[in-house]
Homo-oligomer: A and B are copies of this chain.
Amino acid sequence: MSVGEPIPIVGGTGALGFGLALRFAAAGREVVIGSRDAGRAEEAAAKVQSRVPEATVTGLANSDAALLGSIVLLTVPFRAQSENLTNLGFVLEAGQILVDATAPLAAAISGKATRLLGVPQGSAAEQAQEMVPDGVSVVSALHTVSATKLRELDVPLDEDVLVTGDSKEDKRRVAELIGVISGLRPVNAGSLEAARFVEALTPLLISVNIRNKSHAGVKLTNLPDNLW
């Protein structure tokens, strides 16, 4: 039993996407896990179902999944972002929002996950905005949420999600969606241009996590209660 429209997660078999699928399903939202391989997406959906028996969750090929919701999450490694965006270009339609969670880690070229690649457009999110069809709005978010913490469904979250994008209304809609997951506070962190600063938090947190064997997240202090 779930409410609201489905949430397609392109790359939902990956660590971040799967963790988000679990949390959204546990929050009573219908989730559609996308994968390059529909069979693997179905397997991941079955895993979500076994952890969250009341979930409404299905697994589909990415392109089929992306049709099913007005807000589509993209949670793939940077190495695969461009290929996925090319494929999504054939199915996404004006009015849809693509939530990009990509960090351009040097790991994409077998470098370190504590280093960031330079992206010609300025950030992975701006690359995404360049590649999606006209009228599709890219909102950047979810770079600092630990996949491990998301999977620990019995452990409450308590951290922020920095949201950037060029449409305030689209950011607000994404913030509303993120707010469905208890313990995640979405914060408006500026225009899509500022996504580069947020993407840089991923290698920073990876570095901190390696040092401390932790799964750190980010919280901004001294913010007012009413953020949106």
List A residues at the B interface (Cβ < 8 Å): 114-116, 146, 149, 158-159, 162, 187-190, 193-194, 196-198, 200-201, 203-205, 207-208, 211-224, 227
Contact of A220 with B222 at beta-carbon distance under 8 Å, contacts A162-B204, A204-B194, A211-B188 already known = no
| Residue pair A194, B114 in contact (C-beta under 8 Å) | yes
Question: In the complex, which residues of chain B have a beta carbon less than 8 angstroms from the beta carbon of A197?
Answer: 116, 200-201, 203-204
Question: In the complex, which residues of chain B have a beta carbon less than 8 angstroms from the beta carbon of A221?
Answer: 158-159, 216-219
Least CB distance, A103 to chain B, in whole angstroms: 11
Least CB distance, A156 to chain B, in whole angstroms: 11
Quickly give the copy total for this chain: 2
Question: In the complex, which residues of chain B have a beta carbon less than 8 angstroms from the beta carbon of A218?
Answer: 218-221
Question: In the complex, which residues of chain B have a beta carbon less than 8 angstroms from the beta carbon of A215?
Answer: 222
Question: In the complex, which residues of chain B have a beta carbon less than 8 angstroms from the beta carbon of A217?
Answer: 220-222
Contact of A219 among B196, B198, B201, B219 (CB under 8 A): B219
Question: In the complex, which residues of chain B have a beta carbon less than 8 angstroms from the beta carbon of A194?
Answer: 114, 203-204, 207
Distance in angstroms between the alpha carbons of A142 and B224 in the assembled complex: 22
Distance in angstroms between the alpha carbons of A196 and B162 in the assembled complex: 18
